[in-house]
Amino acid sequence: EDKVVQSPLSLVVHEGDTVTLNCSYEVTNFRSLLWYKQEKKAPTFLFMLTSSGIEKKSGRLSSILDKKELFSILNITATQTGDSAVYLCAVTDPTTSGTYKYIFGTGTRLKVLA
């Protein structure tokens, strides 16, 4: 059975700390891995990773994929209270007719204290 596992499930840090969120996966057909941030409603897209070892970066957030070991990490440096959210990892599984099925992990709930 395809699955995506995220750890830790929750995390509480203080502003300025650096955090690392983990996502491991076991899927039959892998196309890409995506990270989303979900604050209160709809998830918003952060990164899409398809190639091993290439870091994607956006401001204080960065992510990297290891296709050999089947995992990805999301790093947030100098955390701020606005980073408090649930971070979701998803893996795309291509279907036979050209679109994708998404397999989501349970998410990591991050709380950043002032």
Partner 1 sequence: DGGITQSPKYLFRKEGQNVTLSCEQNLNHDAMYWYRQDPGQGLRLIYYSQIVNDFQKGDIAEGYSVSREKKESFPLTVTSAQKNPTAFYLCASLERGGADTQYFGPGTRLTVL
Binding site for partner 1 (CB under 8 A): 4, 6, 9, 31-32, 34, 41-45, 48, 88, 90, 92, 95, 97-107, 109
Minimum distance from CB of 38 to partner 1 (Å)?
Answer: 9
d(CA 71, CA 66): 5
Q: How far apart are CA 82 and CA 50, in angstroms?
A: 28
User: Nearest approach, Cβ of 45 to partner 1 (angstroms)?
Assistant: 5
- Give the phi and the psi of residue 55 in degrees, each rounded to 5: -80, 135
Choose between 33 and 76: whose C-beta lies nearer to partner 1: 33
The least distance separating partner 1 from the CB of residue 94, rounded to whole angstroms, comes to 9
CA dihedral 57, 26, 30, 60 (to 10 degrees): -10
How far is Cα 67 from Cα 55, in angstroms, rounded to an integer?
A: 13
